[in-house]
Structure 1
Amino acid sequence: MKRVTMADVAKMAKVSKSTVSQYLNKRYEYMAPETRKRIEEAIRVLGYQPNIVARSLKQKRTSTIGVIVANILHTFSTQIIRSIEDTCREHDIHVIVCNADDDPAKEANYIKMLRAKQVDGLIVFPTGGNIDLYQAMIQERYPIVFVDRIVEQVNVDSVLLNNERASYLAVEHFVKKGHQRIGMITTSLIRNITPRVERIKGFITALKAHNLPVNHEYIKGLEVAKIKDGLSEMFRLKEPPTALLVGNDLVLMEVLNYVKENSLIIPQDLAIIGIDEVPFANIFDPPLTTISQPTFEMGKKAAQLLLEKIEDQERSIEVKIHRFEPKLIIRSSC
């Protein structure tokens, strides 16, 4: 079956190929309304499909970006992706999402694959394990933006939460509720992932600011599978914590399972504040106090930064760390 071409559309609509091209690129200001209607009708009748590959070669762009998330199971990640996709759709940019599973090898493979597909730029939640790859992209002036994490050796625009402030807000609220034995549990600190390290730093700073002792037996950074074991150790102490700051949504699920399995009552036996606003926070019994991140604003900012870089790769744009402020949402768990 013969492929329908732009010339076929132009012939049926009684216009030039350049006018059809203007229509396909949504430059409607260059044509009368009746011309636009004729082209639209010709496309519908003929079943014309634009040749995206040919257009990409001509424009030297694919109108596609890649997003590599560290762990797509995080509510934070899915909300950021949604915001990036919404922003890109407004600019007719397609988004390919890849999940690195916090594995530097997977991340490296995805970076290479997406670049082989000639995506116009990348938004990466970096594992921190591919310094040479990151540096090579910077040297090439390839458009890239980091989200949620900073890689100290790499000079890239980064969009993330004011993590220290998030922990401070939580400790401040615990203290207002009369708690002095306050603990914190988060995911593994082995690779110095930015939000985990910064949230613990903010937690310790807040304890000191409120003249509370820093009990390192109350502070744990563990793989998700070991969270319950860590909680068991914490609550076998002679004086266990009466309040617990939970570092992210995946850890929160483990904490809530532990609470249920051990018949603890929230907040009487243990007050809880979780960093990350989860969808079930207000319907859990009791409703959960959380520290929310402005995920949609953060995703929009990341997309805007990347699109600016794609639009003008030769222009020197000052690299910045873009911090967003957390918000305490008070419910019944503390």
Structure 2
Amino acid sequence: MKKITIGDVAKHANVSKSTVSQYLNKRYEYMSERTRERIAVSIEELDYRPNIVARSLKQKSTFTIGVIVANILHSFSTQIIRAIENKFHENGFHIIVCNADDEPDKEKDYIEMLMAKQVDGMIIFPTGGNMDLYNRMKKSKFPIVFMDRIIADSEIETVALDNEQAAKLAIDEFVESGYRDIAIVTTSIIRNISPRLERIQGYKNALEYHQIPINPAYIKTTDAGMISQALEELFSYEKPPEALLAANDIVLMAVLTYVKKQGLKIPEDLAVIGIDEVPFAVFYTPSLTTISQPTIEMANLAVTLLMQQIDQEEKGKPQVHRLQPTLIKRESC
């Protein structure tokens, strides 16, 4: 079977090869709608498939982006990945998704693999354990954007939530509803993962604002597999909390499991708010009050920042771009 070339498409559509090339690269400014339709029909009738390798060599681009998430189990991660994929698809790029499992060594392996595949850039939810590698990438002007987590002194464009404000929204809602004995539970802070630290700080700041004493025993940080034990300890106190802020969706799932196991009622026995909107929040009984992250806006901004670097249009000194959370009030508080 003869391989159909761009010249065959051009001849069939009665246009030049450069016009077909412009069409394939979505540069439609200088061609009429009728010309676009003719080329599209020719491509379909001839079953033409562009040579991606040749296109990459010619344009010095693989039209591929690497996305490395710290933990793909978070609903926030999957929502962001979906939004990033949609935005890059609009720009003619594909993505390769890697899950680092919060392990710096695994993250390093994925970065090196993606570099070997000559991706055009990366969006990384950084573990924070590969500073030398991050800095080398930046020094070599490799396009890179951090998502969700802030790495001090990295000078890399970063898109993140205003995490202190997220915690404040939750505490304000608890206090407005009459609660004062408020706990926060989050996953491990051993590697100083910024969203977790910032949410704890936001919790403390909000309690101080409302003139509520901070009880260190009400602040629990632990590995994901140990959350149930942390909750058992929390509720074994002589005066257990009457409200609890689950600092991410994994904690929220553990809290709901514990509540069911103990036969507790929400919000009668324990008021609950979770940071991160989850698909089941509206269907759970009672429906769950959550703090939502603007995932689509965060993804779109990250793509824009990365494309500016790819197109060598980076503007000014890299900075941390903070987006605002939203309280979704339901029945759990």
> Is TM > 0.5 for Structure 1 vs Structure 2?
yes
Query: What is aligned with 1:104?
Result: 104
Q: Structure 1 15/176 Cα, relative in aligned 2: closer, same or farther at 3 Å?
A: closer
Distance in 2 between the 1:307 and 1:61 partners? 12
Which stretch has the larger CA shift, 3-12 or 117-126? 3-12
Q: Structure 1 324/31 Cα, relative in aligned 2: closer, same or farther at 3 Å?
A: closer
SS in 2 for 1:159: strand
Query: What is aligned with 1:274?
Result: 274
Distance in 2 between the 1:331 and 1:44 partners? 50
Query: What is aligned with 2:321?
Result: 322
SS in 1 for 2:172: helix
Distance in 2 between the 1:281 and 1:35 partners? 49
Query: What is aligned with 2:180?
Result: 180
- What do residues 120-177 of structure 1 show as CA deviations (whole Å, max 9, x unaligned)? 1111000001111100011001110001001113111111111111111111111122
Distance in 1 between the 2:249 and 2:38 partners? 53
Q: Are the counterparts in 2 of residues 150 and 158 from structure 1 also a CA contact under 8 Å? A: yes
Match for 2:331: what amino acid? S
Match for 2:185: what amino acid? I
Distance in 1 between the 2:82 and 2:188 partners? 26
Aligned-residue CA RMSD in angstroms?
1.5
Q: Are the counterparts in 2 of residues 22 and 30 from structure 1 also a CA contact under 8 Å? A: no
Q: Structure 1 36/302 Cα, relative in aligned 2: closer, same or farther at 3 Å?
A: closer
Aligned residue pair count: 333
Distance in 2 between the 1:207 and 1:162 partners? 17
Distance in 2 between the 1:149 and 1:20 partners? 43
SS in 1 for 2:226: helix
Q: Structure 1 36/322 Cα, relative in aligned 2: closer, same or farther at 3 Å?
A: closer
Query: What is aligned with 1:121?
Result: 121
Query: What is aligned with 1:299?
Result: 299
Q: Are the counterparts in 2 of residues 87 and 304 from structure 1 also a CA contact under 8 Å? A: no
Using the TM superposition, give the Cα deviation of residue 44 of structure 1 relative to its aligned residue in structure 2, in angstroms.
2.3
Q: Structure 1 294/37 Cα, relative in aligned 2: closer, same or farther at 3 Å?
A: closer
SS in 2 for 1:291: strand
Query: What is aligned with 2:190?
Result: 190
- What do residues 199-235 of structure 1 show as CA deviations (whole Å, max 9, x unaligned)? 0011111112212121111111111110000000011
Q: Structure 1 3/104 Cα, relative in aligned 2: closer, same or farther at 3 Å?
A: same
- What do residues 162-202 of structure 1 show as CA deviations (whole Å, max 9, x unaligned)? 11111111111111222121111010010110100000011
Match for 2:105: what amino acid? A
Distance in 1 between the 2:219 and 2:195 partners? 15
Match for 2:250: what amino acid? L
Which stretch has the larger CA shift, 158-167 or 78-87? 78-87
- What do residues 55-111 of structure 1 show as CA deviations (whole Å, max 9, x unaligned)? 111111112111111111111111111221222122112121111111111111111
Distance in 2 between the 1:34 and 1:271 partners? 61
Match for 1:143: what amino acid? P
Q: Are the counterparts in 2 of residues 174 and 243 from structure 1 also a CA contact under 8 Å? A: yes
Using the TM superposition, give the Cα deviation of residue 291 of structure 1 relative to its aligned residue in structure 2, in angstroms.
1.0
Match for 2:18: what amino acid? S
Using the TM superposition, give the Cα deviation of residue 10 of structure 1 relative to its aligned residue in structure 2, in angstroms.
2.7
SS in 2 for 1:87: helix
Query: What is aligned with 1:61?
Result: 61
Q: Structure 1 123/329 Cα, relative in aligned 2: closer, same or farther at 3 Å?
A: same
SS in 1 for 2:160: strand
Q: Structure 1 38/324 Cα, relative in aligned 2: closer, same or farther at 3 Å?
A: closer
Distance in 2 between the 1:43 and 1:221 partners? 57
Q: Are the counterparts in 2 of residues 131 and 153 from structure 1 also a CA contact under 8 Å? A: no
Alignment of 1:4-19 (within 5 A): 4-19=4-19
Distance in 2 between the 1:329 and 1:37 partners? 46
Distance in 1 between the 2:27 and 2:239 partners? 69
Gaps of 5+ in 2: none
Distance in 2 between the 1:37 and 1:168 partners? 54
SS in 1 for 2:287: coil
Q: Are the counterparts in 2 of residues 246 and 272 from structure 1 also a CA contact under 8 Å? A: yes
Using the TM superposition, give the Cα deviation of residue 329 of structure 1 relative to its aligned residue in structure 2, in angstroms.
1.5
Using the TM superposition, give the Cα deviation of residue 316 of structure 1 relative to its aligned residue in structure 2, in angstroms.
5.5
Q: Structure 1 191/2 Cα, relative in aligned 2: closer, same or farther at 3 Å?
A: same
Query: What is aligned with 1:249?
Result: 249
Using the TM superposition, give the Cα deviation of residue 42 of structure 1 relative to its aligned residue in structure 2, in angstroms.
3.0
SS in 2 for 1:30: coil
Distance in 2 between the 1:117 and 1:103 partners? 21
Query: What is aligned with 1:283?
Result: 283
Match for 2:200: what amino acid? I
Match for 1:112: what amino acid? E
SS in 1 for 2:102: coil
